[in-house]
């Protein structure tokens, strides 16, 4: 499946990415190659194969939840790019 430069521009716009023409060409080829590979996977005969998930065999390592004292805003906000007294300041995202 061939991905056009127009589709790449639309995807980049939705992802809020600024890409140049050279990157558009490269991404078009790479995404087309990926989609071609996925099309090949659609034709794989998987009859009789038992579905499995690697996540089923994982075990979470948990620790005891022990309450402690808060280090306070001077420590927690030390690396904040912007702050207003004891609060983080972030750009507005909803109008």
Query: In this predicted model, what pLDDT tens digit does every residue of 5-49 receive, in sequence order?
Result: 899 999 999 999 999 999 999 999 999 999 999 999 888 888 888
C-alpha angle 63-68-71 in degrees, rounded to nearest 5: 120
31 and 24 in contact (C-beta within 8 Å)? no
Number of other residues whose CB lies within 10 A of the CB of residue 24: 19
- pTM (2 d.p.): 0.49
Whole-number Cα distances in Å, 1 to 10, 31, 71:
17, 9, 54
Q: What is the pLDDT of residues 49-69, one digit of tens each?
A: 887 776 667 778 888 999 999
What are the structure tokens assigned to 28, written together? 């078009």
Class for the domain spanning 5-42: mainly alpha
């Amino acid at each position: 499946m061939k991905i056009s430069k127009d589709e790449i521009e639309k995807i980049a716009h939705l992802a809020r990415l600024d890409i140049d023409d050279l990157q558009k060409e490269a991404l078009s080829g790479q995404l087309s190659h990926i989609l071609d590979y996925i099309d090949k996977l659609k034709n794989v005969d998987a009859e009789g194969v038992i579905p499995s998930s690697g996540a089923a065999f994982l075990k979470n390592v948990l620790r005891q939840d022990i309450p402690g004292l808060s280090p306070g805003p001077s420590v927690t906000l030390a690396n904040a790019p912007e702050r207003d007294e004891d609060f983080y300041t972030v750009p507005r995202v909803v109008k």
